[in-house]
Structure 1
């Protein structure tokens, strides 16, 4: 076997494993806790520190970036095949 091919396979394997692992995580658990409100769904204002609803999320959960990308391509394919 060619040493360059072996090196290329050794370099590509960890990247493929990480990518497939993240895709599996997005499929099994598509939502994650919001980092801004720490999963509470509420945040405080800067001046008076009054609680209000978090703008970034809905009830403390957000879709993962990978799941948003999957949903976009899924919708695109569904619209194209209609």
Structure 2
């Protein structure tokens, strides 16, 4: 049973490391609400800009936001 837990932990660590590298290389990702199109269908009338990404179709990845928050807190604590 222990090798399975070790293997699962190693897989989770590799996944987290690859996501951190991806966030460092490419901090922008597609908007999940509009799927990268930049507009949302309206109930009545014409399409409108997506309110989450302001019509651009891209947003900052969650991992990049977390990294920036940690960096800001670290710098604020060491002033």
Greater C-alpha radius of gyration: 1
> Structure 2: any 5+ residue segments left out of the alignment?
none
TM-score, length basis structure 1 = 0.77
> Structure 1: any 5+ residue segments left out of the alignment?
none
- Partner-residue secondary structure (3-state), 1:69: helix
Measure how far apart 1:11 and its partner are: 3.3
Q: Segments of 4+ in structure 1 off by > 6 A? A: none
Measure how far apart 1:40 and its partner are: 2.7
TM-score, length basis structure 2 = 0.80
Query: Which among 53, 68, 71 is matched to residue 49 of structure 2?
Result: 53
